[in-house]
Structure 1
Amino acid sequence: METMNGQEIALVRIRIIESDKSVDSTTASVVHRKRQKMEEAFRINQRKSRKARNDVAVQGTNDSSILSKVSMVKLGYFNDLFLREFVDKDVRRSPSINRGYYIRMKALEYALNMFYTVYDQKEVQIVNLGAGFDATWFRLDDERKQRTHFIDIDFPEVMQRKLALIEVRSRLNEQFEPIHTYSSLENFAVTNEKYSLIGVDMRDSLTLNTLLQTVKVDETKPTLLISEVVLTYMGRSSCNRVIQWILDFFQECILCTYEQILPDDGFGQVMVAHFAKLGSPLKCIHQYPTSESQVQRYTYLGFDFSLCVNMHNFYRNYLSTDEHNRIDKLEPFDEIEEWQSKCAHYILLFGLRTPSNISKQWFEQMNQDFTSIIYSKKENLNNNNNNSCSLNDEQVKPNIQFEIYPTTMTYAQRFGHQSILIDEKYVWTIGGFGTVDGRHRRLKTIEVLNIDNGDIQRLDNHLLGEYVFHTCHRSDNLILSFFGRKSPGTLNACASIDINTLQVTNFNEDEKILRRWRHCSCYIKETNKIIIFGGYISMSKSTNDTLCLQSNGQLIPSQFSQTRPTNRHSACFNAYKHMAVLSGGILENDEPTNEIWLLDTSKDIMNWTLFQTNGRVIPRYSHSADIIDDTLWLLGGMNANERRPPGLCKINLITGEVIEYIIPTMCGEQPIILYNHQTVLFNKTTFLILGGGGNCFSFGMI
């Protein structure tokens, strides 16, 4: 299932009032009220009738999850021959959902491999909490099966269905034939002493203890407990009781959890609302919103050592370049902002109660595998001596006011579009991907906004076609649209549309001209040139190719200096005197850059120069950029390496001085997601933000 993870408010006006004061109290109070409402909803949900409905919704996540996992496996992301046995039909999910489940499976595979490595050749136990239709035990190799007692635990209804499927599927029942069965009311356990299925509400610790003992779980053996997006559905007290039960029951154990963090930024708010809408809210995420609070929580509850890594770090630094290339080739994918956002909002966490040599080995291996890990030790709990990354305190909190821009009709949600100001009065928005009449698709409808009265006119009687991640400029009575794509891999040439007659004309169709998308361009008035730089030329290849065109869009053969920016896409280009200013972008290694380059367009050989800033610019891509007098303003963008999304950056193009501003995460009651948006300058202190966001998948559930 896909939803629009973008601005539910498609038009926002932002006013900049520079000061060192904190974000205005109105925004803060809205956030506080929203959190109070959420917490009150969670408290109400503890009542018995609500609890029953919530349990059913949580059980339902298993059915959606298994279909998504099978979709991912069938396309070749992950090798699991047994998952298919637990579904009756195949459903093809979107690329972003497939990737979400792929990284989830790789994270749990990492946990298993680490566990078997540190307990090499020893008899061990694995307890899979909220196991659903997970097939991990079936795909273990013979050596691991022989020294493992694997226990799947879930609600009785779920485990009964799983057992019934095992009994009728030959590929499954040839590996598992129960030799003992135990039952107590609706709860039950079956086992062959190597693999056990237990049907019980894990919050019922007394019954759970009894059933574990009946299948001969050994409290003294090293045990890995897996919580794959499970504990997060419980209220804090219930969740902490389960964690405490683990520590009371097992003498030597490692708890592995995979779940969500960062609920308060724009993406996080959409994520939290999504799960609440499904009836399975994330009940602990506001109490433990960060990696630091999560590891401290587990240490505080009794684990000797807790450590975690987010999935962006996991994907970028643990998985190899060859594996990245393999995944990129499986299906077309052009949603890197959503992918990196999703990964930054999930963690793989380990709570260890193990001998010191095991903890040391575990820590050293993770420290080698990842660029940074967050950890907490029991002996340092009160000393704040954990490896935690603080927020970027170099950012200033100014009084920046976001407000919904009033219009006479609903403005279409969209991203990957272009918005251009015509005659200082009309904003034409062309192309992109978005929502119209409840459907998600590439948009042909042109929307014309009258900024004087908020009136919107929709234009459909034209032949411009589908343009996503293109660029536009005005030339007399024409709007020139440069390149962009339809579906990923189907690239456009260039076209113009007459703003009076809507007549469309294609140009620059020569195959020698490198077609691209996610490029950037700008019109230099002083030299009467349009400069186009970079972009994607295929799904796995960006370029640093630079084109120079006349103001009517016709190509000018040009020469450029040998020194130039490296390959990148999703950068911004702005005109400044006789120069083009290139900012940000994402490099070929999928890392954002903070480089600022100047291109002098006044010479026969146009010269690139790297601009030196006096202060740190937060790297970003898919942002917007505007120049007011001698100041470059960068708004939003994506950077999954930072602890908060990039805000508003002010760069003095004379002195190089940099100031990074924090921006609010909400406008009224709506989350703000600032990437793949467009900005139009009203005046020297006011931007109009149009659209933005992305095509949101279901955060590892559906």
Structure 2
Amino acid sequence: MPTTNKKKQKKSSDTAVQGTNDSSVVSKVSAASRGYFRDAFLQHFVCKVARRAPLINRGYYVRWRAVDHCVRRFLHITQKCPKKQILSLGAGFDSLYFRLHADGALDGAVVFELDFPDVARRKAALIGSNITLMGMLDACSPPAAGPVSISSSRYRLLGLDVREESQVEDALGAAGLDWTAPTLILSEVVLTYMETQRSDAVIGWAAKLLPQALFVMYEQIHPHDPFGRVMQEHFLKLNSTLHALRQYPDTSAQRHRFLQKGWEQCACLDMNHFYEGLVPEEERARVERLEPFDEHEEWHLKCSHYFILTASRGSLLEQALLAPTAGPICGPHRGPAALGVRPTSACLEGLGMASARVRPDQVLLTGGSSRGGRGAEARALIRAQEGWRSVGVEPSVDLDVRLHHSATPLPGGGVVIYGGRSSPLSPTPGLFKVTFDPCGSPAAPDSERAEAAKVRVEQMVCSGDPPPPRWRHTASVVSHTGRDFLFVFGGKNQSEPALGDGCFLSLDQQLWMKIPVEGAAPVARHSHSACSYQGGVLVFGGLSGGGRPLGDTAVLRPTDGGFCWGRIDVRPPPVPRYSHCAHVVGGKLVVVGGVWTHSDGVPGVVVIDVSTRSSVEFSLDTTAVPWPLMLHSFCSELLDPEEPELLLMGGGGNCFSFGTHMNPRPVTVDLKPALGAGFPSWS
């Protein structure tokens, strides 16, 4: 490539990277304005306050909390040192100096900030025109010619390209940086925008020149799983490639990187581990009450793809800044084979739908949302000779906008639609019985079968004491004294983060009833699975009210007087997960997909043998699927128990601020290798 074109490309990329600062500060202001953290100074760096989505607010909160945790620990460790420094690389419009100054926390520390010359000039102009900010700069002298934009006794702002080592070293020395003093180096999503050779050089340069130093870095990891692929694509579209991901894809690689570049100690946590282990429970509860929130999957996925790292040099900084109180998350015990996944020919996408197999070759899907947040129309998936096809159907009664509801096939035919929501503040009312009648021959063309398809909807008017409204629950058919009941368990609503009640609806009487249930009920949860099993149900996983994924297996069994809860102690214990689907095949519980907070890949299929109380995890071979396959907020149907195959429909999510990704087609999963695998026996 000619030198001129390389320079143009580099300038374009640098401009794009600088643009990430503007977007970031707006998001930080949004989080501060909603009460996630206190910062009265960020607002002076934006034209107006714009409200971001709750998911983005939470994401910037955990970033702020992690960096603030490290800064405060550094200041505490060095409180007896007469001199200390904070060096912020790619500082952008960060308000760290002003916040620490207002809190009286600097205590002899000097803050140095570096960023591109254009960014530094813009920041200096904003500070210079603001009475509040200027009033917090002690003994501020006019900048001389060169990179220094602001110079005061406690704050120095320099316009420099961090990649130019010799220039940075000379400018910092001239600005008064003491190379021997304890120094905190901050890098929040900065080095990854550089070519990896350049960012490695910065890490090594800092280790060489600062013998008493702490390096704090916040960046992305896990580029190869579905969320990571969407994340990378987002930054590529912004012309802001995440270079470091290729060579340093996980926390282990990042730790090794710093140790190889001259740092003596290094700790690295993904943000799920940081949030659970280093943010106190009462603080997490406060944050989680600030706004209505129902994007749990995207929250945990985002946190698993970012990390906070501290690397240190010198005896003064040997104390651990990232010592989590939570224990390690158990990894999956992989089975001997990966299960093949293949896309179908049908075009269908949606999030939060519910499905019901009404015939061996026909699946009804209701509710959910499509692109742009619009409610998804009712669809039917029909398998003909040419493969699966999706056709639209028009119910006789509007089922309203409905996400995260349940669709339960009834023994005598028909499907019960229950629960769901239109927004995190609006449960969707009504209980409906749906009858799907394709009225067409399987050999008929899809167009004829679609025209013949009829969906009859009748509202079920039930007596008795109905349960509170909910979504992300389960509804399964159970049997007692020869009668069938709809058993509704768990979920959440606008007032409760997780529900733990179990409610029975007599299907023949359409009556909510109280039936005695013995034993200790499972903890309150939502986004779990519940499968009909021997007249009762098998419950697995879910998300607790405190936001922790669960990995327990419980069984509700019928008794002479009612039902009884029991626990199945599975070995090895499955990795906790939620937002999955599950099916009973013979005496085995097959759990597919979902979200977990473990860093080792994404959930595939775990098969639990109920009789031996043993489990085996299987990964999914998605090489035949050309798009990132996200298996949460999706539906699953077991097509044929004799030739076990799963049909997975919909799924995906709003990937933090990276846009909405939806699986465009249903896929099938071959279960034969999993169901034929040997299971260990546990006493």
Shorter-chain TM range is: 0.7 to 0.9
Distance change in 2, residues 1:254/1:293 (3 Å)? same
Separation (CA, whole Å) in 1 of partners of 2:419 and 2:330: 41
Matching residue of 1:522: 476
More deviation in 130-139 or 44-53? Answer: 44-53
Separation (CA, whole Å) in 2 of partners of 1:541 and 1:495: 22
Letter of the 1:172 partner, please give it. L
User: Is the 1:232–1:282 Cα contact (8 Å) retained in structure 2?
Assistant: yes
Give the one of 466, 473, 479 matched to 2:401: 466
Separation (CA, whole Å) in 2 of partners of 1:614 and 1:102: 37
Deviations along 1:272-330, one digit per CA (max 9) or x if unpaired, are: 22212221111011211111110111010101111122211111122122212211221
Give the one of 311, 315, 329 matched to 2:289: 329
User: Is the 1:521–1:573 Cα contact (8 Å) retained in structure 2?
Assistant: yes
Separation (CA, whole Å) in 2 of partners of 1:137 and 1:523: 60
Deviations along 1:146-168, one digit per CA (max 9) or x if unpaired, are: 51111111000111110111111
Matching residue of 2:674: none
Give the one of 507, 510, 515 matched to 1:551: 507
Deviations along 1:128-178, one digit per CA (max 9) or x if unpaired, are: 100000010011136433511111110001111101111111111222374
Q: Does 2:22 correspond to 1:83?
A: no
Letter of the 1:275 partner, please give it. F
Separation (CA, whole Å) in 2 of partners of 1:222 and 1:157: 29
Q: Please give the residue correspondences for 1:625-664 in structure 2 after superposition, counting only pairs within 5 Å.
A: 625-664=582-621
Shift of 1:676: 2.1
Give the one of 324, 327, 342 matched to 1:403: 342
Matching residue of 1:426: 362
Separation (CA, whole Å) in 1 of partners of 2:505 and 2:4: 61
Q: Please give the residue correspondences for 1:654-693 in structure 2 after superposition, counting only pairs within 5 Å.
A: 654-664=611-621, 667-683=624-640, 684-693=643-652
Letter of the 1:118 partner, please give it. I
3-state SS of the aligned residue for 1:259?
strand
Give the one of 414, 418, 430 matched to 1:482: 418
Give the structure, 1 or 2, with the largest relative contact order (CA under 8 Å, sep 6 or more). Answer: 1
Separation (CA, whole Å) in 2 of partners of 1:449 and 1:699: 30
User: Is the 1:639–1:645 Cα contact (8 Å) retained in structure 2?
Assistant: yes
User: Is the 1:444–1:464 Cα contact (8 Å) retained in structure 2?
Assistant: no
Matching residue of 1:386: none
Shift of 1:501: 5.0
Matching residue of 1:181: 143
Matching residue of 1:256: 216
Matching residue of 1:166: 127
Give the one of 117, 126, 144 matched to 1:156: 117
Shift of 1:474: 3.2
3-state SS of the aligned residue for 2:127?
helix
Distance change in 2, residues 1:117/1:173 (3 Å)? same
Separation (CA, whole Å) in 2 of partners of 1:589 and 1:292: 28
Distance change in 2, residues 1:250/1:279 (3 Å)? same
User: Is the 1:196–1:215 Cα contact (8 Å) retained in structure 2?
Assistant: yes
Give the one of 457, 470, 487 matched to 2:391: 457
Q: Does 2:567 correspond to 1:610?
A: yes
Matching residue of 1:118: 77
Letter of the 2:474 partner, please give it. C
3-state SS of the aligned residue for 2:36?
coil
User: Is the 2:355–2:366 Cα contact (8 Å) retained in structure 1?
Assistant: yes
Distance change in 2, residues 1:115/1:59 (3 Å)? same
User: Is the 1:493–1:509 Cα contact (8 Å) retained in structure 2?
Assistant: no
User: Is the 2:231–2:655 Cα contact (8 Å) retained in structure 1?
Assistant: no
User: Is the 2:406–2:475 Cα contact (8 Å) retained in structure 1?
Assistant: yes
Letter of the 2:223 partner, please give it. P
More deviation in 668-677 or 553-562? Answer: 553-562
User: Is the 2:426–2:494 Cα contact (8 Å) retained in structure 1?
Assistant: no
Q: Does 2:325 correspond to 1:370?
A: yes
Separation (CA, whole Å) in 2 of partners of 1:397 and 1:671: 24
Shift of 1:563: 2.5
Matching residue of 2:62: 103
Shift of 1:460: 5.2
Matching residue of 2:671: none
Separation (CA, whole Å) in 1 of partners of 2:4 and 2:517: 64
User: Is the 1:494–1:509 Cα contact (8 Å) retained in structure 2?
Assistant: no
User: Is the 1:417–1:429 Cα contact (8 Å) retained in structure 2?
Assistant: yes
Matching residue of 2:97: 137
Shift of 1:697: 1.6
Q: Does 2:52 correspond to 1:52?
A: no
Task: Point out where structure 1 has 5 or more consecutive residues left out of the alignment.
Answer: 1-40, 374-388
Deviations along 1:481-524, one digit per CA (max 9) or x if unpaired, are: 11122211322333324433544425348774222111112124
3-state SS of the aligned residue for 2:654?
strand
Separation (CA, whole Å) in 2 of partners of 1:275 and 1:45: 24
RMSD: 2.5
Deviations along 1:34-53, one digit per CA (max 9) or x if unpaired, are: xxxxxxx9xx9994332221
Shift of 1:93: 0.6
More deviation in 112-121 or 134-143? Answer: 134-143
Separation (CA, whole Å) in 2 of partners of 1:637 and 1:514: 26
3-state SS of the aligned residue for 2:426?
coil
User: Is the 1:483–1:516 Cα contact (8 Å) retained in structure 2?
Assistant: yes
Separation (CA, whole Å) in 2 of partners of 1:320 and 1:540: 21
Q: Please give the residue correspondences for 1:258-273 in structure 2 after superposition, counting only pairs within 5 Å.
A: 258-273=218-233
Separation (CA, whole Å) in 1 of partners of 2:562 and 2:331: 43
Deviations along 1:18-45, one digit per CA (max 9) or x if unpaired, are: xxxxxxxxxxxxxxxxxxxxxxx9xx99
TM-score normalised over the length of structure 1? 0.85
Deviations along 1:174-223, one digit per CA (max 9) or x if unpaired, are: 22374041334xx4443113211100111111221222122111111111
User: Is the 1:125–1:150 Cα contact (8 Å) retained in structure 2?
Assistant: yes
Distance change in 2, residues 1:625/1:165 (3 Å)? same
Shift of 1:539: 4.8
3-state SS of the aligned residue for 1:585?
strand
Separation (CA, whole Å) in 2 of partners of 1:616 and 1:45: 59
Letter of the 2:547 partner, please give it. D
Give the one of 246, 251, 264 matched to 1:291: 251
Letter of the 2:227 partner, please give it. F
Letter of the 2:109 partner, please give it. T
Give the one of 309, 317, 323 matched to 1:358: 317
Distance change in 2, residues 1:136/1:45 (3 Å)? farther
Deviations along 1:543-576, one digit per CA (max 9) or x if unpaired, are: 2211122336542331111422121111111112
3-state SS of the aligned residue for 1:285?
helix
3-state SS of the aligned residue for 1:541?
coil
Q: Does 2:360 correspond to 1:447?
A: no
Distance change in 2, residues 1:521/1:323 (3 Å)? same
Segments ≥4 residues shifted beyond 6 Å: none
Separation (CA, whole Å) in 2 of partners of 1:672 and 1:666: 10
Deviations along 1:419-477, one digit per CA (max 9) or x if unpaired, are: 11112222111112331xxx223x24111111224332223564110111111123456
User: Is the 2:394–2:455 Cα contact (8 Å) retained in structure 1?
Assistant: no
Separation (CA, whole Å) in 2 of partners of 1:218 and 1:80: 29
Task: Point out where structure 2 has 5 or more consecutive residues left out of the alignment.
Answer: 437-453, 660-683
Separation (CA, whole Å) in 2 of partners of 1:613 and 1:341: 26
User: Is the 2:604–2:618 Cα contact (8 Å) retained in structure 1?
Assistant: yes
Give the one of 204, 226, 237 matched to 1:244: 204
Q: Please give the residue correspondences for 1:297-308 in structure 2 after superposition, counting only pairs within 5 Å.
A: 297-308=257-268
Distance change in 2, residues 1:668/1:47 (3 Å)? farther
Matching residue of 2:152: 192
Q: How many residues align?
A: 628
